[in-house]
């Protein structure tokens, strides 16, 4: 196959600004990407692939980007319409089809993630989710890690123009610009978000939006190579040199329907579709290589046939593979490792009892000394304030640059933590109030929780999220919530919830060493209570997760509680004792909700024959419901009474003190429940 010499006559074509071999490389990759799309279409028609999102119309941009960036060195946070990027980066066709067909050995996800969601450690392509817009902040976190370590890598992150309406997009460009991070934002503007035209998304221009944040920003025609390549190459080199982020709005066309579930003829008229096809990037490039004399028509035929044969062979090979073994479906939700299994007595470092705030602060300080990869951020956590509850006080001064204020943006706190954790840092971040964890919920629920699982163990993001939780502080409806159940219902997170200073230190230190995401709930009503003080355990004191503590032994009733409710149960027994009763009641403090120490609960209830669960969160579908179900199932034959719960009313927490008292569970209610169960 002959590759023609290109004439040096500049008047012949603007494409001469690019070396012929670059142009041919582009064409070859575009052909491969084209036949991959064609093969996928066949699989869709045969019912072998239930999610297909054609990248036709975006392929020139995606391949150009792969040629400008450095595969294997730079990082990629793609979205679901980027098969051509994968082809450009050199993902083996076999891997591509294993992902598209969810077949055995699929290196993207072992069949767990959706098709079109490619992942590769070798290519530094981080497993995406289907959520529009979540990828931006994770990429920013990765870029923060790169900047912190002084490396010259770039983080590519992309999305459709529709996804830029998500709030996290704005948070991401804000933070990337504030910190001058090496992020290449590429928005692929095909004019539609499924059926919604861009005019219904925004009245601005996206590249102008990025400029509004102070970011270097350009708009390019993503269907034409030369200008795009020549514009982006030097700008990307600047990002690599540390100039800060770059925003690219690439105008592309969507030649096919949004996905295999969509029919665009229902909302785009013939003229509109013809217009898109007229800009077909592949047809254009093919025309150019012929026009410029880089290839003859016979060459083009041969190149096409070669690409087609290569792609079809890989597709057929993968199609012959079975689906993954069903036994693998729930693997990799957690790492399966732990840092400590047995509990030992704490060896107090002094007789002087410390508060929970001090215990957590000291635990964090010790872990930061031990592990230079621990970094912290959150709202107001930096010294001199050191957090609104003072938990991180002194740490900024002790560890300069490692404990900083975040923007007032919880999704930023969380999304960046994921990115930095993927990069090997250990973020220990603070959510100032549990009530305000919800802007970060998308990251916690759909990203962080399942990264390890959806990438079949290839990627993980161990981190600690400290959350100030709970009421009884006259904080009203937005500073008193107890959302632990919501988070415990998301696989992939451990959830620790200490009730006293010694446990808090042991658990926070373990959390800092775990290889999985950990939510660490700190009850703000306990932070400085005298009754939660304990002598401070030593620096090697680690508490295992999933081991309940017997607060007091008893024969006639088991009370299961955690956090502040543990103390309320003790106070209830105190009340009963003051009234002359000395019941033999066992109190279990769960200490971690995930893992739940079901064995300890069942062992106790089998002995006592009666169970009461006490928690501060609302009753309906609370963690208590799970515990009661486990008891009903595992200790049914030992039960001598109904299993009861005392919890908050199914309400919000009101501000007025008498109303707050009416909604949250009380010591009196617990005492009554204990008495009734004992008399049953
Ligand atoms: C958070 C979220 N909301 C809604 C969806 C459903 N959804 C998937 S793609 C899409 C449109 C995205 O359009 P755009 O960002 O322009 O990307 P394109 O598909 O055009 O490349 C929608 C609404 C989703 N995946 N995630
Ligand atoms: Mg779009």
Element (H, E) at 592: strand 592-594
Sign of the Cα torsion 47, 48, 54, 59 reads negative
479 is annotated as an active-site residue:
yes
Contact 2, 300 (CB under 8 A): no
User: How many Å lie between the centroid of ligand 1 and the Cα of residue 495?
Assistant: 31
Is the pLDDT at 342 greater than 50? The verdict is yes
CB of 3 closer than 6 angstroms to any ligand 1 atom: no
Is the pLDDT at 636 greater than 60? The verdict is yes
Token pair 């050995």 is at which residue? 105
pLDDT of res. 4: 44
pLDDT band at 2 (very low <50, low <70, confident <90, very high): very low
DSSP string, 317-377: HHHTSPPPPGGGTTTTSS-S--S--S------S-SSEE-HHHHHHHHHHHHHHH-TTEEEE
Domain residue extents for the chain: 19-317, 353-535, 549-679
pLDDT band at 581 (very low <50, low <70, confident <90, very high): confident
pTM: 0.96
Element (H, E) at 403: strand 403-405
HSE of 248, CA atoms in CB hemisphere, 13 A: 27
User: What whole-number percentage of the chain has pLDDT above 70?
Assistant: 98
Number of H helices, E strands in the chain: 23, 21
CB of 549 closer than 6 angstroms to any ligand 1 atom: no
Contact 552, 584 (CB under 8 A): no
pLDDT of res. 17: 77
Give SS3 for 559. strand
CB of 78 closer than 6 angstroms to any ligand 1 atom: no
User: Which atom number of ligand 1 is nearest to the Cα of residue 201?
Assistant: 16
- What fold is seen in the domain 19-317? Rossmann fold (3.40.50)
pLDDT band at 18 (very low <50, low <70, confident <90, very high): confident
- Write out pLDDT tens, residues 92-133: 999 999 999 999 999 999 999 999 999 999 999 999 999 999
User: How many Å lie between the centroid of ligand 1 and the Cα of residue 171?
Assistant: 18
CB of 480 closer than 6 angstroms to any ligand 1 atom: no
CB of 88 closer than 6 angstroms to any ligand 1 atom: no
> What is the rounded end-to-end Cα distance, in angstroms, of the chain?
91
Q: Hey, which residues does 494 pair with through a beta bridge?
A: 518
pLDDT of res. 1: 41
CATH of 549-679, one of 3.40.50.920, 3.40.50.300, 3.40.50.1950, 3.40.50.720: 3.40.50.920
CA distance 523 to 470: 5
- What residues does the ion ligand 2 have nearby, CB within 5 Å? 160-162, 190, 192-193
Token pair 């620790």 is at which residue? 496
- Write out pLDDT tens, residues 352-372: 999 999 999 999 999 999 999
Mean of the pLDDT values across residues 38-67?
Answer: 98
pLDDT band at 560 (very low <50, low <70, confident <90, very high): very high
DSSP-based helix, strand, coil % in the chain, nearest 5:
45, 15, 40
CB of 201 closer than 6 angstroms to any ligand 1 atom: no
Mean of the pLDDT values across residues 487-512?
Answer: 98
Structure tokens at 221: 């025609």
Average pLDDT of the chain?
Answer: 96
CB of 159 closer than 6 angstroms to any ligand 1 atom: yes
Is the pLDDT at 553 greater than 70? The verdict is yes
* Ligand with the closest atom to the CA of 191: 2
- Write out pLDDT tens, residues 414-455: 999 999 999 999 999 999 999 999 999 999 999 999 999 999
Nearest residue (by CA) to ligand 1, atom 7, is: 132
Q: What is the CATH number of domain 353-535?
A: 3.40.50.970
The rounded radius of gyration (Å) of the Cα atoms in the chain is 29
Is the pLDDT at 12 greater than 50? The verdict is no
- DSSP class of residue 457? T
User: Which atom number of ligand 1 is nearest to the Cα of residue 58?
Assistant: 21
Of the candidates 185, 186, 177, the residue with the CA atom closest to the CA atom of residue 144 = 177
Is the pLDDT at 274 greater than 60? The verdict is yes
Of the candidates 11, 132, 27, 26, the residue with the CA atom closest to the CA atom of residue 77 = 132
Q: Which of 57, 193, 268 to mutate to test the pocket of ligand 1 (most atoms within 8 A of CB)?
A: 193
CA distance 505 to 381: 19
User: How many Å lie between the centroid of ligand 1 and the Cα of residue 130?
Assistant: 8
Q: Do domains 353-535 and 549-679 have the same CATH topology?
A: yes
Mean of the pLDDT values across residues 507-513?
Answer: 98
Is the pLDDT at 7 greater than 50? The verdict is no
Choosing from 94, 95, 258, 479, which is the catalytic residue?
Answer: 479
Token pair 């036994």 is at which residue? 327
User: What whole-number percentage of the chain has pLDDT above 90?
Assistant: 96
CB of 129 closer than 6 angstroms to any ligand 1 atom: no
User: How many Å lie between the centroid of ligand 1 and the Cα of residue 194?
Assistant: 7
């Amino acid at each position: 196959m002959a590759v023609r010499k290109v004439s040096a006559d500049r008047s012949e074509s603007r494409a001469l600004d690019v070396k012929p071999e670059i142009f041919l490389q582009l064409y070859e990759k575009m052909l491969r990407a084209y036949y991959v799309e064609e093969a996928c279409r066949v699989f869709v028609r045969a019912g072998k692939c239930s999610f297909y999102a054609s990248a036709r119309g975006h392929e020139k941009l995606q391949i150009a980007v792969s040629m400008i960036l450095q595969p294997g060195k730079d990082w990629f946070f793609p979205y679901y319409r980027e098969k051509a990027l994968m082809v450009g980066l050199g993902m083996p066709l076999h891997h591509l089809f294993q992902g598209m067909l969810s077949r055995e050995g699929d290196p993207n996800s072992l069949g767990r993630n959706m098709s079109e969601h490619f992942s590769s450690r070798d290519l530094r392509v981080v497993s995406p989710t289907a959520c529009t817009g979540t990828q931006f902040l994770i990429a920013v976190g990765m870029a923060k890690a790169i900047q912190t370590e002084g490396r010259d890598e770039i983080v590519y992150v992309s999305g459709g123009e529709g996804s830029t309406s998500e709030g996290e997009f704005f948070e991401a460009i804000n933070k990337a610009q504030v910190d001058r991070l090496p992020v290449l934002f590429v928005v692929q503007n095909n004019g539609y978000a499924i059926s919604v035209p861009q005019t219904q998304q925004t009245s601005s221009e996206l590249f102008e939006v990025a400029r509004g944040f102070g970011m270097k920003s350009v708009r390019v025609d993503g269907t034409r190579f030369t200008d795009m390549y020549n514009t982006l190459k030097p700008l990307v080199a600047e990002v690599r040199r540390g100039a800060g982020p770059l925003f690219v709005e690439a105008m592309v066309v969507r030649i096919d329907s949004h996905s295999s579930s969509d029919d665009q003829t229902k909302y785009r008229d013939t003229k509109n579709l013809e217009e898109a096809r007229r800009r077909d990037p592949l047809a254009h490039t093919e025309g150019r290589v012929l026009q410029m004399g880089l290839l003859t028509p016979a060459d083009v035929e041969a190149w096409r046939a070669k690409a087609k044969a290569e792609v079809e062979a890989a597709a057929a090979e993968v199609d012959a593979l079975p689906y993954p073994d069903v036994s693998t479906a729930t693997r990799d939700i957690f790492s399966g490792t732990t840092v400590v299994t047995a509990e030992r007595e704490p060896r107090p470092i002094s007789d002087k009892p410390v508060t929970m705030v001090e215990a957590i602060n000291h635990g964090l300080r010790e872990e930061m000394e031990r592990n230079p990869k621990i970094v912290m951020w959150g709202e107001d956590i930096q010294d001199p304030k050191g957090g609104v509850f003072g938990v991180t006080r002194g740490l900024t001064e002790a560890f300069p640059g490692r404990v900083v204020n975040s923007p007032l943006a919880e999704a930023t706190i969380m999304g960046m933590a994921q990115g930095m954790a993927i990069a090997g840092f250990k973020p220990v971040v603070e959510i100032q109030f549990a009530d305000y964890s919800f802007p970060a919920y998308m990251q916690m629920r759909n990203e962080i929780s399942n990264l390890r699982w959806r990438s079949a163990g290839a990627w993980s993001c161990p981190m600690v999220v400290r959350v100030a939780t709970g009421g009884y502080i006259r904080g009203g409806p937005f500073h008193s919530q107890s959302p632990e159940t919501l988070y415990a219902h998301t696989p992939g997170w451990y959830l620790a919830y200490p009730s006293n200073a010694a446990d808090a230190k042991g658990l926070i230190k373990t959390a800092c060493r775990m290889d999985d995401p950990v939510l660490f709930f700190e009850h703000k009503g306990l932070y400085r209570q005298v009754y939660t003080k304990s002598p401070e355990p030593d620096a090697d004191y680690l508490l295992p997760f999933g081991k309940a503590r017997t607060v007091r032994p008893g024969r006639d009733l088991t009370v299961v509680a955690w956090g502040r409710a543990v103390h309320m149960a003790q106070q209830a027994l105190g009340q009963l004792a003051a009234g002359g009763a000395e019941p033999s009641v066992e109190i279990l403090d769960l200490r971690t909700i995930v893992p739940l120490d079901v064995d300890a609960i069942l062992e106790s209830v089998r002995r006592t024959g009666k169970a009461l669960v006490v928690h501060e969160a609302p009753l309906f579908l609370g963690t208590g419901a799970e515990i009661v179900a486990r008891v009903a199932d595992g200790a049914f034959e030992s039960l001598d009474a109904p299993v009861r719960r005392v919890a908050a009313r199914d309400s919000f927490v009101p501000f007025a003190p008498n109303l707050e008292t009416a909604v949250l569970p009380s010591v009196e209610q617990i005492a009554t429940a204990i008495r009734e169960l004992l008399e049953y």
